[in-house]
Amino acid sequence: MVWHDVQCEEGSAFQPRARHVVLSEALGQFHWVDTKRTGEGVIVRWRGKQCFTVGAGRTGVVIYNGTEDVILDHWRKTLYHKVVFRIGVAVPWYPALFRRTPDHRWQGLRHLA
């Protein structure tokens, strides 16, 4: 599994900065999204709430946002996150795999202003 993380920060004029992290298949939690294999496929949960189950040959997406208060260089800073978690179960990889409409979609976006 590969985690693709894109960050946009005020200090760099919100220019996207990306990184890819290869994760062990045994690792089942990505930020607030949990995955668990079952006989029917992979159950996808967000903060403990079941979003959907992705069966073999299917894809899904979970989209959510939130804030996090941190101390950085002795200053309190609020970080805003938008997370787009995409999953494919037993699907062949090709570059535009996640550009197509997913079979399952869950969205939990809240107003952050």
| pLDDT digits 0-9 by tens, 53-110 | 999 999 999 999 888 888 988 899 888 878 888 888 888 888 888 889 999 999 998 7
Burial class of residue 42, CB neighbours in 10 A (0-12, 13-18, 19+): buried
In this structure, the strands spanning 58-72 and 104-108 are parallel
pTM of the shown model = 0.75
**Can you tell me the distance from the alpha carbon of 44 to that of 90, in angstroms, rounded to the nearest whole number?**
15
pLDDT band at 26 (very low <50, low <70, confident <90, very high): low
Burial class of residue 40, CB neighbours in 10 A (0-12, 13-18, 19+): exposed
Average pLDDT, stretch 34-54? 92
